Amino acid sequence: MTLSTMLTTMGAGMLRTCTIFFLTLLGALPLGFVIYFARKSKIKVLSSFTKIFISIMRGTPLMLQLLVWYFGPYYLFRWSIRGYRFTAIILGFVLNYAAYFAEIYRGGIESIPAGQYEAAEVLGYTKTQTFFKIILPQVIKRILPSVTNEVITLVKDTSLAFTLAYQEVFSLAKQISASQTSFMPFLIAGIFYYIANYAVAFAMERFEKALDYYK
């Protein structure tokens, strides 16, 4: 297999990897807020359930969660899982990362001094206005480094999709390497992950600088 053929073959895997990455962010970032607010809910059953959910998501391997989401419907309910593989992957990634983002949001929101809420109330702001106009801009700035770390981890974690025999870039690299007895596919995959992580770090750094209103 020539290098160009190898790159062409792995290109499809790179596209699948990027799809997992972007769909996970698209779902996990907003869902993290939903989980956070559920955790802080005054409804005891809801807050307790959310705490248990976060504990399970953070306390068990993502690889195991992917297997549960994929095979669970069949073993528990005898549902057909044909064509369900990609859905299970996205479901597993989104729920796992949403739990981590929820805790990051919690740390950022709870780090805001209570005096700011009181000052906003004195100025006549509603709770919604206070959150979106005063609290959220500060929270975003504070949590950005932690979010960046999670996003970078996500780029690498996409390789776990191979657990469900999904042919993303890492799976294809292993297959081609085994069939061609060549280390080159792993090198290509490594370069891809590095470039992707560099792009994420660069974009997040630019965003962080844009929020650096003290300068």
Write the pLDDT tens digit of every residue in 135-185.
888 888 889 999 999 999 999 999 999 889 888 898 888 888 888 888 888
Confirm if 192 and 169 have CB atoms less than 8 A apart: yes
Per residue in 31-45, pLDDT (tens digit) is: 999 999 999 999 999
- pLDDT recorded at residue 57: 95
Burial code of 182-205, b = ≥16 C-beta within 10 A, e = fewer? eebbeebbeebbeebbeebeeebe
pLDDT band of residue 213 (cuts 50, 70, 90) is low
Whether residue 115 lies inside any domain: the answer is: yes
Whether residue 215 lies inside any domain: the answer is: no
Share of the chain above pLDDT 70, in %: 98
CATH of the domain at 13: 1.10.3720.10
Confirm if 200 and 152 have CB atoms less than 8 A apart: yes
For 210, residues 6+ apart whose C-beta sits below 8 A from its C-beta are none
Number of folded domains that form the chain:
1
Per residue in 33-89, pLDDT (tens digit) is: 999 999 999 999 999 999 999 999 999 999 999 999 999 988 888 887 788 899 999
- Residue 17 buriedness (CB in 10 A; 0-12 / 13-18 / 19+): buried
Higher local confidence (pLDDT), 124 or 146: 146
- pLDDT recorded at residue 176: 87
pLDDT band of residue 10 (cuts 50, 70, 90) is confident
Whether residue 188 lies inside any domain: the answer is: yes
Residue 211 has pLDDT above 90, yes or no: no
- pLDDT recorded at residue 161: 92
Whether residue 86 lies inside any domain: the answer is: yes
Mean pLDDT score, 21-29: 96
Query: What integer best gives the mean pLDDT of the chain?
Result: 89
174-182: long-range contacts, CB 8 A cutoff, minimum separation 24: 176/1, 176/6, 176/9, 176/10, 180/1, 180/6, 182/1
pTM summary value: 0.90
Owning domain of residue 144: 3-210
DSSP string, 40-53: T-S-HHHHHHHHHH
Residue 214 has pLDDT above 60, yes or no: no
Whether residue 90 lies inside any domain: the answer is: yes
Whether residue 180 lies inside any domain: the answer is: yes
Residue 215 has pLDDT above 80, yes or no: no
Whether residue 113 lies inside any domain: the answer is: yes
DSSP string, 92-134: HHHHHHHHHHHHHHHHHHHTS-HHHHHHHHHTT--HHHIIIII
Cα gap 28→23, rounded to integer Å: 8
Burial code of 53-76, b = ≥16 C-beta within 10 A, e = fewer? bbeebeeeebeebbeebbeeeeee
pLDDT band of residue 193 (cuts 50, 70, 90) is very high
pLDDT band of residue 117 (cuts 50, 70, 90) is confident
Whether residue 72 lies inside any domain: the answer is: yes
Provide the token pair at 101. Answer: 């983002």
Cα gap 153→62, rounded to integer Å: 12
